[in-house]
Amino acid sequence: MDNEITQEVLKAGPFENEGQTVFGENIIEIMRHISFRRLITLDRSLKSDHTGYDERSIQREWLVDGQPAKDLDDAIERLSKPSQLSDDEVYILEKLPRDWIRLAEFKAAFPMILQTTIGPVLVKLHLKGLIENRMETIAQRSIPSIRRTPLTDDA
């Protein structure tokens, strides 16, 4: 990757929205860095006593490969080293096509014994920025699809 990893580069983004969740009274925005796909931020909007949600009450947590970093400097240090992939992650990544494929079709290509263990491996690969997922709407149904992240084609 040509980009130098600095605090300024990471803070500037750009980021893509990976979703939102509510945890207790907190709203958590999940964002993935476009250039450094292993980097995810969790922005927690904390509810103040009587005023609702306020931009000043946002706490940011940095994650690299799905694991919390102590701070942004720790995230930079981790991003400067390659992801560590398990044998299962390497195996599944090698089987995953570059083009979008329906998740059910991909899983069906494996023996039944492996089909139950593919899900957690796919989650780990997604957290490491190595695969992408999306929901396709077909006949008013949402169908999950996955593919290798284009940047990993040579991996």
Q: Which of 86 and 27 is assigned the larger pLDDT?
A: 86
Domain covering 87-152 assigned CATH 3.20.20.220 in the classification? no
| Residues whose CB falls within 8 Å of the CB of residue 37, separated by 6 or more in sequence, listed in order | 129, 130, 149, 151
Task: Map residue 81 onto helix, strand or coil.
Answer: coil
Asked whether residue 78 carries a pLDDT value surpassing 90, the answer given is yes
Asked whether residue 45 carries a pLDDT value surpassing 80, the answer given is no
Give the separation between CA 93 and CA 12, rounded to whole angstroms.
Answer: 30
Q: Which of 92 and 55 is assigned the larger pLDDT?
A: 92
Q: pLDDT band at residue 50, thresholds of 50, 70 and 90?
A: low
Least confident of 7-16, 62-71, 83-92: 7-16
Q: Give residue-wise pLDDT tens across range 8-41.
A: 888 887 888 887 777 777 778 888 888 888 999 8
Return mean pLDDT, the chain: 81
Q: Give residue-wise pLDDT tens across range 112-129.
A: 767 667 888 888 998 898
Q: Helical H runs in the chain?
A: 7-12, 72-79, 87-95, 103-108, 112-127
The pair of three-digit structure tokens given for residue 145, joined into one six-digit string: 């699809």
Least confident of 21-25, 47-51, 83-87, 128-132: 47-51
Q: Which residues in the chain are classed under CATH 1.10.10.10?
A: 87-152
Chain centroid to Cα 125, Å, comes to 8
Asked whether residue 1 carries a pLDDT value surpassing 60, the answer given is no
**Closest C-alpha to 44, from 54, 32, 24, 58:** 58
Instruction: Look at residue 19 in the predicted model and tell me its pLDDT.
Output: 77
- pTM of the shown model: 0.73
